[in-house]
């Protein structure tokens, strides 16, 4: 088997689509199969995954915490598009903390992911 370098683009809202769930499952499978996960980039409504505070009904999956746990376990950053956050009026002060998995990024980081990866998989 040839090892592939894969990046993920997550654009669907964690509240009104399955994009974040499917992307996380795909990311876990990518690692489990021995491929390299180069970057996860949240864009458009996908940036809502990093919104603070993040309150959910008790019977729903906490996708934000699941992504944080995954990133911590894999020692990787999760990039959130700063322009998409600004367009949605999101204030994410923790994204400025060095040890917080969600980090602000521009489209340059998405472009780099496209260049450096064998595949870019989008979740809408």
- Is 85 designated active site? no
Catalytic residue among 20, 52, 74, 81: 81
List the 102-105 sheet strands across, edge first. Answer: 102-105, 78-81, 36-42, 5-10, 119-123
**Among 7, 5, 3, which residue's Cα sits nearest to residue 111?**
7
Based on C-alpha coordinates, what's the Rg of the chain?
Answer: 14
User: What is the set of active-site residues?
Assistant: 81
């Amino acid at each position: 088997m040839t090892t592939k370098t894969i990046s993920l683009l997550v654009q669907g809202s964690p509240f009104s689509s399955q994009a974040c769930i499917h992307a996380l499952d795909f990311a876990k499978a990518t690692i489990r199969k021995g491929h390299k996960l180069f970057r996860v980039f949240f864009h458009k409504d996908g940036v809502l995954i990093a919104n603070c505070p993040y309150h959910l009904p008790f019977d729903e999956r906490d996708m934000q915490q699941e992504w944080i746990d995954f990133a911590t376990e894999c020692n990787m950053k999760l990039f959130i598009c700063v322009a998409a956050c600004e367009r949605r009026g999101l204030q994410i002060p923790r994204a400025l903390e060095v040890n917080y998995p969600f980090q602000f990024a521009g489209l340059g980081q998405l472009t780099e992911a496209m260049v450096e990866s064998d595949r870019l998989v989008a979740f809408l």
